[in-house]
Amino acid sequence: MALSVGIVGLPNVGKSTLFNALSNAGAEAANYAFCTIEPNHGIVPVPDKRLDELVRVIEPKSTVQTTVEFVDIAGLVAGASKGEGLGNQFLAHIRSVDAIAHVVRCFVDDNIQHVANKVDPLDDIETIDTELILRDIQSLEKRLERARKQAKSGDKTEKLALELCPRIIEAMNEGKSARELEFTDAEVEILEALDLLTAKPVFYVANVSEDQLGDGLEDPLVKRVVDYVSPKGAQVVVISANIEAEIAALDPDERAEFLADVGLEEAGLNKLIRTAYELLELITYFTAGEKECRAWTIRRGTKAPGAAGVIHTDFERGFIKAEVIAWDLLVELGSEAAAKAAGKLRIEGKEYVVSDGDVMHFRFNV
């Protein structure tokens, strides 16, 4: 599934350094504003210990992880909604992604310039939130003007838009984002066409120094972010972008020792990637055999034929049944043959809703 997460934030908060660590794509990172102009794209594998366990037991010839696309977007400044800095480009690029990873500077370093000449993570968050809200208000005002003209014909959708847009604009003028509001199904249809920036799911990446890593979410600057965004249902991932860049540059067999030296159980990027994956309401199912063990991405709530269609449209069109076993049970039993012998391989039909971690084999006929 082609799903993407935009990495956003003010200039010089560590976005491009983080992106480089994520993707090794070589995005330029420098100590001046607007270093990133055109967005950089990187396809990043989703770390999954379940797949590792399946590979350990089955020993396939090849392994394929599922992926998420990350997009490094130019830094935003106050006034972006009116075209300040690279505002128009920034906002257009956000519109193209499915979710937002908002990088917030939570470290103090006099050698790295801050556009506001102070380190205040809540001010930084509010700056970006305000610009996204202002751009959404512009979109809603244009939609409202169209509704005013067309509602006179008696069109039900336009009449609903005529009532809906002012209500959202009023809430946004109070500082609320679209994702904090509740809508009916009919209202959602209207809003989907607008693709509001503040409707996109978001999580926050607190970029800290190495010295702050040990405190995690309890670091004073990070805790301010957590206390601010948690009531809105958003998650915070603590990362040192510089440390993650060092980890990414190491050979795989050197990483474990480095992580131990800095007091980490795993790279912070792993948690960031998983958080992004979960934020998009994605789950993973597996296909496992001697030729290949592979992870597949689907939306939570997908039924078996839809999951089969991710592999090939013929699988969905000619779906007959699916043989299913939980990944941990397959690891315990050691093989599909052993699972069949133990009567643990279930047969599921078209209405089966796939669970996260299912190992599946599809039967189809076209």
Is there a single domain that holds both residue 336 and residue 230?
A: no
CATH of the domain at 80: 3.40.50.300
Distance between CA atoms of residues 40 and 341, nearest Å: 50
| β-sheet bridge partners, residue 105 | 207
Tell whether residue 16 is among the known ligand binding residues.
Answer: yes
CATH of the domain at 334: 3.10.20.30
Neighbour tally for 44: CB within 10 Å: 21
Does pLDDT of 100 surpass 50? yes
Give residue 57's pLDDT band: very low, low, confident or very high (50, 70, 90).
Answer: very high
Is there a single domain that holds both residue 147 and residue 237?
A: no
Is there a single domain that holds both residue 248 and residue 103?
A: yes
Distance between CA atoms of residues 22 and 17, nearest Å: 9
Is there a single domain that holds both residue 83 and residue 176?
A: no
Distance between CA atoms of residues 250 and 259, nearest Å: 11
Residue 293 lies inside a defined structural domain of this protein: no
Is there a single domain that holds both residue 98 and residue 215?
A: yes
pLDDT in tens, 185-241: 999 999 999 989 999 999 999 999 888 888 888 999 999 999 999 999 899 999 998
User: Are the C-beta atoms of residues 208 and 238 closer than 8 Å to each other?
Assistant: yes
Residue 255 lies inside a defined structural domain of this protein: yes
**Bridge pairing between strands 292-299 and 62-64:** parallel
Query: Given the structure tokens 């609320």, which residue do they identify?
Result: 176
Is there a single domain that holds both residue 167 and residue 41?
A: no
pLDDT in the model for residue 33: 32
Is there a single domain that holds both residue 15 and residue 71?
A: yes
DSSP string, 126-192: HHHHHHHHHHHHHHHHHHHHHHHHHGGGT-HHHHHHHHHHHHHHHHHHTT--GGGS---HHHHHHHH
Residue 288 lies inside a defined structural domain of this protein: no
pLDDT in tens, 136-188: 999 999 999 999 988 878 888 999 999 999 999 999 999 999 999 999 999 99
Is there a single domain that holds both residue 270 and residue 308?
A: no
Residue 180 belongs to what domain range? 129-194
- pTM value? 0.82
Is there a single domain that holds both residue 273 and residue 208?
A: yes
**Domain termination residue (choose one: 194, 222, 241):** 194
Residue 286 lies inside a defined structural domain of this protein: no
To which H or E segment does residue 99 belong?
Answer: strand 99-105
**Domain termination residue (choose one: 172, 194, 216):** 194
Residue 82 lies inside a defined structural domain of this protein: yes
Mean pLDDT along residues 246-266? 84
pLDDT in tens, 267-296: 888 888 889 888 989 999 999 999 999 999
Positive or negative, the Cα torsion across 262, 265, 267, 273? negative
pLDDT in the model for residue 1: 59
Neighbour tally for 347: CB within 10 Å: 10
**Domain termination residue (choose one: 137, 168, 194):** 194
Residue 283 lies inside a defined structural domain of this protein: no
Give residue 35's pLDDT band: very low, low, confident or very high (50, 70, 90).
Answer: very low
User: Are the C-beta atoms of residues 339 and 333 closer than 8 Å to each other?
Assistant: yes
Residue 61 lies inside a defined structural domain of this protein: no
Mean pLDDT of the chain: 86
Is there a single domain that holds both residue 179 and residue 274?
A: no
Is there a single domain that holds both residue 239 and residue 135?
A: no
pLDDT in tens, 225-251: 999 999 998 999 999 988 888 888 888
Share of the chain above pLDDT 90, in %: 52
Residue 291 lies inside a defined structural domain of this protein: no
Positive or negative, the Cα torsion across 58, 60, 66, 71? positive
Number of domains in the chain: 3
Is there a single domain that holds both residue 115 and residue 16?
A: yes
Does pLDDT of 36 surpass 90? no
